[in-house]
Structure 1
């Protein structure tokens, strides 16, 4: 009963969190921080490190209620269960033969011609076999409809044929996943490069505008300075001429005063 209940819990669409979540309390988190602080404190009383990896935390002598707060090691092999379905940690795509399914297309192009086995194998034309499988799906679906209209009790064999065709088509598409991931990465990098180039062009354009404004301001400043210098020189000349006229007028008045007194 317990195993059946656990299996239902794992396979449910909205599975509850694992029981260890109850240990993630503020008190336990505080205790874990204190343990890390004590372990990282040197003889001089100063902390020597701040970051702890899960492996290093597991090496510490932690109480049982704190051990569940440390993330487990990342598995590198084996299987895991997702909603009751067993999944492999390996990223390699399993073959149809390993899954007990009849493969409807050759693994290599050389297998299409048994007389050419001595020649190097050529890449498989996936598009050609996907088209053939698509046509077979349409034909088998028409046959399936015909069977249902004549003798519905004989549907199982045709449903199995349709299932096998769909699985083969899906497997062929999955063979393109690495190529799709590589092309998607190339596209993302090209977009990033294009965006960076656009930003550089905008920065160069803004730099040119700022440089033009600064050059115009510098020219206006030089022109204003030159005008000010010319104004100063003119004012100095005018002042000199005014002083000369005043001096001449003073001399004239002095002469007139001398004559009058004489």
Structure 2
């Protein structure tokens, strides 16, 4: 599965920082500030206060090599380096063949041509992931046997294990668009459920407020009726007392005349 004659360099698990960190000294920072102050002077020779320098403006200055390390680099547009390995900015997943790696599963089916007599079967990712997992177990057992019998022949089996892991990882990466789509659907469903719950709570609060207002209205009507009845009763009592007083006055007048 792998060529034993090929030597492959394995990067360090914990790569050292880039050597440019040695240029971030206090002297270099002060030199850069002096150059920025000189470059920001106007026609009258006075520096412009609070000049904000962009990375592109700093890269345009005539700086020594040790000071150029202090300027942020341009934003990558095609590829960038991470621990010595180039990474592409493209969102398209490159195939294993383009990367020079043996592909252990068939190519995913192309788009449907519209011919019903020739249906296109999709790639069964789970089936090939299961096969690769079983191959990993078998190759690991073979690797242990090689280490116990002929340790000097380990490199070929390590390359086989590496190829199996890369194929499994690539198959899982093919699920990334599906994962992103399902995650977006889940987020939208959660947002919809949260909005519906808020609407139900608002409807419940509205019903409680309307019930409280109706109760207050009923109590207000009852209080008004009782007050009106009391006022009417008070008017009748006043009229009766006035009639009694008038009768007494008339009888008193009659008694005086007799």
Same fold per TM (> 0.5)?
Answer: yes
* 1:196-211 equivalence runs, <5 A: 196-211=195-210
Matched, 1:10 2:18: yes
CA contact (8 A) 1:140 1:162 kept: yes
Distance 1:17 1:202, change over 3 A: farther
**Alignment length (residue pairs):** 214
Name the CA distance, whole Å, in 2 between partners of 1:17 and 1:254: 128
Deviation for aligned residue 1:193: 0.4
Matched, 1:240 2:248: no
Matched, 1:127 2:135: no
CA contact (8 A) 1:109 1:121 kept: yes
- Unpaired stretches in structure 2, ≥5 consecutive residues: 1-14, 41-47, 63-71, 111-116
Distance 1:21 1:163, change over 3 A: farther
Name the CA distance, whole Å, in 2 between partners of 1:17 and 1:173: 42
The one of the two structures with greater contact order (alpha-carbon pairs below 8 A, sep at least 6) is: 2
80-89 vs 190-199, which moves further? 80-89
Distance 1:220 1:189, change over 3 A: same
- Unpaired stretches in structure 1, ≥5 consecutive residues: 1-6, 36-53, 65-70, 111-117
More helix by share: 1
The one-character-per-residue Cα deviations of 1:146-201 (angstroms, maximum 9, x if unpaired) are 11111111111111000000000000000001100110110011011001101110
Name the CA distance, whole Å, in 2 between partners of 1:156 and 1:63: 50
Deviation for aligned residue 1:208: 0.4
Name the CA distance, whole Å, in 1 between partners of 2:157 and 2:249: 133
What is the root-mean-square deviation of aligned Cα atoms in Å? 3.8
CA contact (8 A) 1:11 1:84 kept: no
Could you tell me the TM-score, scaled by structure 2's length? 0.70
Name the CA distance, whole Å, in 2 between partners of 1:16 and 1:255: 132
Distance 1:63 1:87, change over 3 A: closer
Distance 1:17 1:136, change over 3 A: farther
CA contact (8 A) 1:109 1:125 kept: no
Could you tell me the TM-score, scaled by structure 1's length? 0.69
Name the CA distance, whole Å, in 1 between partners of 2:222 and 2:125: 75
Q: What is the match of residue 152 of structure 1?
A: 151
Q: What is the match of residue 139 of structure 2?
A: 140
